[in-house]
């Protein structure tokens, strides 16, 4: 969301029932630091009053091309000149058809023709309408014209049917706008990311694992995708929904993670191992639940798992960049540099775990980056999303990239 700071976004509202959700989107964009202005169609004004948007954005809403009371005589052109991105939410079948055919017969469609920035359209309509051949054709046409489509979701519709046609969630729309505004500096790069914990089962109901939430790895995968990368995310069990537009492989054990990583690592340009892989697995596993024994004490033997990162680092392909993480409870610098060297890494992101604002389950992280050159970079406390972008920035500056 950082990319939205100081950006000029124009929110176009057309006449669909989901128009009532547009103020929520406006607030999300404002909270992220964007300046939002609003253009509405006449029909949209029947669903929601322009006054609502005026109160929220503190600026006049453009509804009419020939409205003498609007602050500028050619308001639609002025707005288009200033705007970094224009998003139409909700977009009816009618406005989609007009945009696909270059029709400019009201304030919103005329404004859209003048926009030079990114354009995002968020369809919302009855499921049968969304499935209609003409609508599909128009959406394909918009995509070909460099529009970004925030696909509607499936669910209960205003017409009391279930189907695909609900306006995409406002958070998802905001995410699409961020994606649209992001420079595609990872275009043509294949990026393999691992995330989350692994589980080493002892019997069908017991395993050893760790509290990794997967947030860091998912943030990296999402940031890399927004920057145009071809991303594969291999993840242990987490509660996070994987980002759209990536190849997602779900695994459970360290062995499954190793198999999938080695299968996909061969032609990867960048490998980032944010997963918290279990170093050991139970030597013996049981087909059925182990029953309580009479003895007060039992002993389990564990054997070592493959160190995936080390194997990748030692077999690095020419030009490939391998990045690891070091989760430590003490002696961060010493341990991180040791891992960097032993595993032949380009960068290692080290952090002290076990603190509330930095570590496994937090949304923020306080990391130190250690580089092959022997340099280190101490980073302040920041969101995992911000850290993800910094790691990708440093990778791109790495001598091998």
Element (H, E) at 139: helix 133-144
Contact criterion met (CB below 8 Å) for 313 and 265? no
Using the contact rule CB under 6 A, the part of the chain among 32-40, 138-146, 294-302, 305-313 near ligand CTP is 305-313
Using the contact rule CB under 6 A, the part of the chain among 55-63, 168-176, 233-241, 320-328 near ligand CTP is 320-328
For 112-147, b/e burial (b = at least 16 CB within 10 A) is bebbebbbbbbbbbbbebbeeeebeebbeebeeeeb
Spatial distance between the Cα atoms of 176 and 303, rounded to a whole number of angstroms = 45
Contacts of 240 (CB under 8 A, 6+ apart): 213, 214, 215, 218
For 325-352, b/e burial (b = at least 16 CB within 10 A) is bbbbeeebeebbbebbeebbbbbbbbbb
Told to check if 91 binds ligand CTP by CB under 6 A, we report: no
Helical H segments across 72-126, by residue range = 75-82, 93-100, 107-114
Told to check if 309 binds ligand CTP by CB under 6 A, we report: yes
Using the contact rule CB under 6 A, the part of the chain among 124-132, 318-326, 361-369, 387-395 near ligand CTP is 318-326
Nearer to ligand CTP, 32 or 193 (CB): 193
Told to check if 277 binds ligand CTP by CB under 6 A, we report: yes
> Residue 352: beta bridge partners?
328
Smallest gap from Cβ 349 to ligand CTP, in A, equals 8
Smallest gap from Cβ 268 to ligand CTP, in A, equals 14
Smallest gap from Cβ 273 to ligand CTP, in A, equals 4
Smallest gap from Cβ 390 to ligand CTP, in A, equals 17
Interface with ligand CTP (CB under 6 A), residue from 275, 347, 367, 391: 275
For 347, the 3-state DSSP assignment is strand
Told to check if 281 binds ligand CTP by CB under 6 A, we report: no
Smallest gap from Cβ 323 to ligand CTP, in A, equals 8
The single-letter DSSP state of residue 38 is E
Spatial distance between the Cα atoms of 177 and 194, rounded to a whole number of angstroms = 26
Using the contact rule CB under 6 A, the part of the chain among 87-95, 272-280, 376-384, 391-399 near ligand CTP is 272-280
Told to check if 203 binds ligand CTP by CB under 6 A, we report: no
3-state helix vs strand vs coil in the chain, percent to 5: 35, 25, 40
Residues in contact with ligand CTP, shown as a per-residue x/- string from 232 to 271 under the rule CB under 6 A: ----------------------x-----------------
User: What is the binding site for ligand CTP (CB under 6 A)?
Assistant: 254, 273, 275, 277, 279, 305, 307-309, 324-327, 339
């Amino acid at each position: 969301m950082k990319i939205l700071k100081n950006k000029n976004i124009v929110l176009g509202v057309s006449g669909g029932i989901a128009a009532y959700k547009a103020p929520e989107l406006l607030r999300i964009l404002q909270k992220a630091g964007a300046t939002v202005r609003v253009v509405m169609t006449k029909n949209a004004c029947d669903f929601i009053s322009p006054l609502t948007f005026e109160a929220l954005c503190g600026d006049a809403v453009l509804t009419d091309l020939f409205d003498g009371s609007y602050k500028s005589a050619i308001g639609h052109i002025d707005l288009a000149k200033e705007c970094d991105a224009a998003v139409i939410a909700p977009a009816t079948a009618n406005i989609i058809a007009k945009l696909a055919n270059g029709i400019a017969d009201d304030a919103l469609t005329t404004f859209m023709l003048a926009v030079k920035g990114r354009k995002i359209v968020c369809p919302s309509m009855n499921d049968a309408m969304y499935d209609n051949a003409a609508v599909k054709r128009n959406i394909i046409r918009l995509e070909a014209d460099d529009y970004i489509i925030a696909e509607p979701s499936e669910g209960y519709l205003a017409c009391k049917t279930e189907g695909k046609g609900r306006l995409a969630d406002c958070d998802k729309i905001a995410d699409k706008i961020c994606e649209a505004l992001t420079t595609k500096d990872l275009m043509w790069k294949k990026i393999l990311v691992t995330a989350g914990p692994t589980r080493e089962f002892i019997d069908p109901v017991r395993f050893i694992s760790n509290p990794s939430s997967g947030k860091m790895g998912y943030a990296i995968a999402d940031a890399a995708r927004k920057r145009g990368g071809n991303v594969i995310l291999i993840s242990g069990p987490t509660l996070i929904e994987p980002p759209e537009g990536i190849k997602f492989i779900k695994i459970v054990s360290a062995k499954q993670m190793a198999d999938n990583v080695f299968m996909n690592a061969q032609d990867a340009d960048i490998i980032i191992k944010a997963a918290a892989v279990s170093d050991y697995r139970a030597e013996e596993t049981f087909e059925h639940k182990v029953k309580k024994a009479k003895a007060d004490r039992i002993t389990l033997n564990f054997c070592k798992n493959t160190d995936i990162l080390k194997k990748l680092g030692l077999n690095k392909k020419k030009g490939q960049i391998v990045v690891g993480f070091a989760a430590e409870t003490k002696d961060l610098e010493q341990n991180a540099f040791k891992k960097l060297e032993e595993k032949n890494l380009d960068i290692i992101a080290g952090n002290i775990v076990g603190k509330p604002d930095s570590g496994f389950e937090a949304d923020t992280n306080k990391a130190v980056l250690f580089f092959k050159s022997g340099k280190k970079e101490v980073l302040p406390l920041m969101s995992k999303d911000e850290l993800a972008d910094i790691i990708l920035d440093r990778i791109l500056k790495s001598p091998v990239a």
